[in-house]
Amino acid sequence: MTGYLLRRGVLAVPLLLGVATLVFSLIHLTPGDPVEVMLGPGAGAGDVAGLRHRLGLDRSLLAQYAGFLGGLARGDLGESLHYHDPVAGLIRERYPATLALALASLSLALLFALPAGVAAALRPGRAVDQVGRAAAIVALSMPSFWLGPLLIICFSIWLDLLPVSGMDSPAAVILPAVTLAAATGSLLARLLRVTLADEIGALYVRACLSRGCSRIGVTVRHALRNALPPVMTVLALQTGSLLTGAILTETVFAWPGLGRLLVQAIAYRDYPLVQGCVLTIALTYVAINLGADLLHALLEPRTVR
């Protein structure tokens, strides 16, 4: 297991380098002059030259790339053009709010997916399975930018039960978390239903049942453990999707997280801040998938080579 952990860690290094290179390319290799885009068509030549020197864009591309990697090694992502503060500091301020929203969404998704998936697998074709399939189709068909305003209208305007925006109270996380968790929970529930139904039909489960073991006990203690690895893989991918989906959801609910900061940076044409936000989201995605691989190895040791 130790060797597997070391190999996965070593393989993550070139992946992280590739992510950093791609983020660097988004700003420096796109058509047009980013400085002129930031300042607008009415900027003078002196202003353009000054900002280009300030951002280091007057150096060679190789020198810019080396400086970018060196800054990453020091934790320096540059300075925001709009806020005039270090980009790393702005991200540190907003990142906890995004993590809190993502964790709340994952918790809601799992609270729905685990019992719903197990119940549907134990009673295939019955009412609980049919209702779960219909609910999953509806939830997966509703994008977050449509579901979010709908929840606001129902629970904030009509019923006046939950806050519309911000994070001033613990209840403020409920609506954005439900918005993000709806599709994720439905997808995980249907996947768990399929994988668990296959395990319940396996020979070892039938052998346990023939010895008088309860169906629910065998399912929870044995079949569920073997059905979880593919679910954990999809869960890791969906966690990354929660971070990108939070960009729209945070904007709808005025949630002061990293996604809303990214939207504001794009509106202000704050390229260093855009670069820092995208890089942070990408690195988080890589870290989550690495953690999922390690958890998969713990649940299914046969995959370790």
CATH 1.10.3720.10 intervals, the chain: 97-303
Q: What is the pLDDT of residue 203?
A: 77
In sequence order, what are the residues at sequence separation of 6 or more whose Cβ sits closer than 8 angstroms to the Cβ of residue 265? 80, 82, 273, 274, 277
Residue 1 scores a pLDDT above 80: no
Q: What is the pLDDT of residue 34?
A: 66
Query: What per-residue confidence (pLDDT) applies to 73?
Result: 83
pLDDT of residue 114 exceeding 80: yes
Residue 305's pLDDT is what?
57
pLDDT band of residue 89 (cuts 50, 70, 90) is very high
DSSP sequence for 225-290:
HHHHHHHHHHHHHHHHHHHHHHHHHHHHTT--SHHHHHHHHHHTT-HHHHHHHHHHHHHHHHHHHH
**pLDDT tens per residue, range 272-293:** 888 888 888 888 887 877 777 7
Mean of the pLDDT values across residues 251-269? 86
**CB atoms < 10 A from the CB of 44, how many?**
9
Q: Measuring CA to CA, how many Å separate 173 from each of 1, 180, 225, 257, 277?
A: 38, 11, 31, 12, 22
- Residue-level pLDDT at 37: 66
Which of 184, 277, 175, 191 shows the shortest CA–CA distance to 229?
A: 191
Residue % of the chain over a pLDDT of 70: 89
What are 176-209's pLDDT values in tens digits? 999 988 888 888 888 888 888 888 877 777 777 7
Confidence class of residue 93 from pLDDT cuts 50, 70 and 90? Answer: very high
Tell me which fold the domain 97-303 belongs to: MetI-like fold (1.10.3720)
**38 pLDDT exceeds 60?**
yes
pLDDT beyond 80 at 159: yes
The pLDDT tens digits of the residues spanning 217-226 come to: 777 777 887 7
Q: Indicate if the pLDDT at residue 136 is higher than 80.
A: yes
Which residue do the tokens 């966690």 mark?
239
For 249-276, what is the mean pLDDT? 85
